[in-house]
Amino acid sequence: MNILRQYVRRVITEAAKDVGDIPIGVYVTVEMLSDGFIIYFSDPFNKMLDYPVRGIIEAYDPDDSTGPCDGAFVVRRAFADDGFGPLLYDIALEVAGERGLTMDRDTLSADAFGVWKYYLQNRSDVKKEKLSDCVIDPRIRKFTNEFPEGESPLHFRYIKNDGKKLRSLRSKGMLV
């Protein structure tokens, strides 16, 4: 089992892209909204791209469907071309600041869950805080089966305050 875990960790690490992997001419737009934020790959004029790389993550204030979630932003939509998802999540974590970020509470792909599981189990640079009041929709409860009660990645908010990705994007002139 340990060998399998090491292999999965290596595959995820190799597949994950970083700021330096963003193609020339592609920018990252961060739109702050009154109830959350949207981050996506864009041209220099904030127009969302569909080539050469696509990706978006939207996070909003918790609402009645999610429960209070201790005030963490809740991801509502995430999509990225291969390998760019973890980069967008890292940027979103930095934008979320001390409030932190938690995953969608009612729709969740296996790929997205894998990113959150990786954060929980392997990212020492990401702070994990147990959530006390978040709703988990029965449709995604299946993701909790392999964990002891209350210990799945769904039961945490994630905080990353080092600002490394945002600083790197700014220094390269890629943040719009």
Summarize pLDDT for 126-167 with one digit per residue, the tens: 999 999 999 999 989 899 999 999 999 999 999 999 999 999
Query: Which of 2 and 73 is assigned the larger pLDDT?
Result: 73
Q: Considering the domain boundaries, does residue 143 fall inside one?
A: yes
Helix, strand or coil, per DSSP, at residue 163: coil
Q: What are 116's two structure tokens? A: 């959150």
70 torsion bin: left (phi>0), alpha (psi -120 to 50), beta (else): left
Q: How many CB atoms lie within 10 A of CB 132?
A: 10
Q: Considering the domain boundaries, does residue 162 fall inside one?
A: yes
Amino acid in position 108: L
Q: Is the pLDDT of residue 15 over 80?
A: no
Contact of 117 with 147, CB cutoff 8 Å: no
Q: What is the pLDDT of residue 2?
A: 59
Amino acid in position 136: I
Q: Considering the domain boundaries, does residue 27 fall inside one?
A: yes
Q: Considering the domain boundaries, does residue 98 fall inside one?
A: yes
Q: Considering the domain boundaries, does residue 88 fall inside one?
A: yes
Q: How many structural domains are present in the chain?
A: 1
Q: What is the pLDDT of residue 107?
A: 87
State which residues form the domain around 156: 2-171
pLDDT (mean) for 24-36:
97
Q: Is the pLDDT of residue 10 over 90?
A: no
